[in-house]
């Protein structure tokens, strides 16, 4: 895959659709190693209507989902099973930390690095930054293919 990958390329890889596509661009991709994606956080996000009125804060689970979607792009580039239209499913999160609120106007830089990539499972270290400040981090685990 050639980078940058714009939203059209992301939609051709991920099964997610509006309002649940949470990455806007991939700016770096090294299969089996790392991915860097961007998420532009705007007031138009549907979750800001209720989280929180008068003080909009991006929910932590949405930051984790954005990380996972960037990880899905990395898995797609790193795993032959994914290239044939396979799916990737979250199986676990470890060491999750939220360091600073993410608010409208912020741009999240999502960096995921492969810890382990096997034919059926992956583990990745994820970090989210706004500008140079770390706002969230986690280790994500996922499985490839059917869950049934």
Cβ(67)–Cβ(128) below 8 Å = yes
Distance CA 73, CA 50 (A): 29
Structure tokens at 55: 């003080």
Separate counts of helices (H) and strands (E) for the chain: 3, 6
- Report CA torsion sign: 24, 116, 58, 130: negative
Q: Which of 16, 32, 51, 129 is catalytic?
A: 51
Distance, in Å, from the CA atom of 106 to the CA atom of 118, rounded to the nearest integer, reads: 34
32 is catalytic: no
Greatest Cα pair distance, the chain, in angstroms, is: 46
**Residue 126 and residue 142 in contact, taking contact as beta carbons nearer than 8 Å:** no
Active site residues: 51
């Amino acid at each position: 895959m050639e980078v940058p990958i714009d939203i059209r390329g992301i939609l051709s890889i991920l099964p997610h659709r509006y309002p649940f596509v949470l990455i806007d661009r991939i700016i770096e991709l090294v299969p089996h190693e790392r991915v860097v994606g961007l998420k532009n956080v705007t007031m138009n996000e549907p979750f800001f209507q209720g989280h929180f009125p008068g003080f909009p804060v991006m929910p932590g689970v949405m930051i984790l989902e954005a990380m996972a979607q960037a990880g899905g792009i990395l898995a797609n580039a790193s795993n032959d099973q994914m290239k044939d239209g396979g799916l990737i499913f979250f199986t676990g999160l470890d060491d999750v930390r939220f360091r600073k609120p993410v608010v409208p106007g912020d741009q999240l830089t999502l960096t995921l690095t492969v810890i382990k990539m096997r034919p059926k499972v992956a583990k990745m270290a994820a970090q989210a930054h706004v500008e140079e400040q770390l706002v969230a981090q986690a280790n994500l685990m996922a499985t490839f293919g059917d869950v049934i």
